[in-house]
Amino acid sequence: MILRDIIDKLGLKILSGEGSLDIEVKVAYASDILSDVMACAVKGGLWITNQNHQNVIAIVYFKTLAGAILAGGMMPDDETLAKARDKNVPLFQSELPAFEISGRLYGLGIKGSA
């Protein structure tokens, strides 16, 4: 499914990466343990997390993920958001809890990456 369609269907708020929304997403990964995401998330996948600091941006960038969804209403600080915009990292925000985002993605045909 195209990332732009996922954003629409889940009602995600786009925080950064507006120029990278036309990529195909087939998998997602939900975790708040950064080493776990580094080990298990796959290129082109979406990451669902409650983390909201600069390391999120670094992992999305270096793992070449489709983006990160900050769950539960989490918002990054200004410095983190500036880093995401500078690196053109797709970063989204949702008021939904991570569990519900995962379920909705699964319902859209997005599978787990681990």
Q: Is the pLDDT of residue 113 over 90?
A: no
Q: Residue 104, exposed/middle/buried by CB under 10 A (0-12, 13-18, 19+)? A: middle
Phi/psi for 2 (5° steps) reads -75, 135
**Strand, coil or helix: what is 110?**
coil
User: What integer best gives the mean pLDDT of the chain?
Assistant: 96
* 1-57 pLDDT, tens digit each: 999 999 999 999 999 999 889 999 999 999 999 999 999 999 999 999 999 999 999
The domain total for the chain is 1
Q: Domain of residue 98: give its range.
A: 3-112
Per the rule left: phi > 0, alpha: psi between -120 and 50, beta: everything else, 88 is left
Q: What CATH number does the domain containing 84 carry?
A: 3.40.1390.20
The predicted model scores a pTM of 0.96
